[in-house]
Amino acid sequence: MTASETDLESDTRKRLIDASTEMFVECGFGAAKVRDIAARANANIAAVNYYFGSKEGLYAAVIQHHAAQAMENISQRRRHESTSAAQADLRNYVSNFLKRLLVDTPQFTMGKIIAREMIEPTAAFELIVEKFVRPQFVGLNSLIRSLVGEEIPAETVRRCSLSVVGQCLYYQCARRVVGLIDPEFGYQARDIERLAGHIVDFSLGGIGRIARQRRHDRRRTTSKRKNRN
């Protein structure tokens, strides 16, 4: 059996990617030690520099390796005809977001790398923000825009997006605190779906209230002045 293109990459290289992915996610870039990575991959310490040039090179390879399939998971923006369609989409968005943050499956690894990057930025930070975070954020903005209508200022929409994202990210950042403070909380698929339900309901309530409030503000303001600034 002739080796295909992908099989050509040595086994060691692949084992190093897998092992280092785990360690980068668990400990972050700085705290992950090359020796530990090599040990977990059953490889010699020198293999890291042989295949990737440096620890940073390894990290870059890890990002590149997970980037492709991560992009597939990014929910594409759609036009929302009805409010209920937008609500369903928000449900989807939050559910997917949480899975990427909390489910420990290779499929969702990139989300955890990104979360790490948010709290402990490396050289790859800006690239990751532009390639993953900003598209996600823009998508969420347009989603929320179709929930609140065109008359709400963009800044308000952004704030709402950040409120949604903040609620989700909290369970990843502060996983250990949640464990101490709310020990009953679990991380099974079922628990995550229920959590998604809560965050969506909470957020829909929040978005609704703010939209009503802003619309009210605006009517009052425009009846007094020409336009708001």
Residue numbers of the site for its own copies (CB under 8 A)? Answer: 28, 30-31, 118-121, 125-126, 129, 133-134, 137, 155-156, 158-160, 162-163, 165-171, 173-174, 176-178, 180-182, 184, 195, 198-199, 201-210, 213
User: Which of its own copies, DNA, none lies near 34, with the C-beta cut-off 5 to 8 A by kind?
Assistant: DNA
- Report the alpha-carbon distance of residue 199 to residue 27 in Å, rounded: 28
Chain centroid to CA 107: 13
H helical segments located in 42-188? 46-52, 55-73, 83-102, 109-119, 125-128, 134-148, 154-173, 175-181
Closest to DNA by CB, 21 vs 146, is 21
The answer to whether residue 12 forms part of the interface with DNA (CB under 7 A) is yes
User: Residues 20-59: x/- map of binding to DNA (CB under 7 A)?
Assistant: ------------xxxx-------xxxxxxxx--xxxx---
- Min dist CB 56 to DNA, Å, is 6
- Min dist CB 213 to its own copies, Å, is 6
Determine contact, residues 200/90, Cβ cutoff 8 Å. Answer: yes
- Report the alpha-carbon distance of residue 175 to residue 107 in Å, rounded: 20
Classify the phi-psi angles of 32: left when phi > 0, otherwise alpha if psi is within -120 to 50, otherwise beta.
beta
- Min dist CB 128 to DNA, Å, is 20
Determine contact, residues 15/65, Cβ cutoff 8 Å. Answer: no
Please report, as ranges, the residues that interact with DNA according to CB under 7 A: 10-12, 32-35, 43-50, 53-56
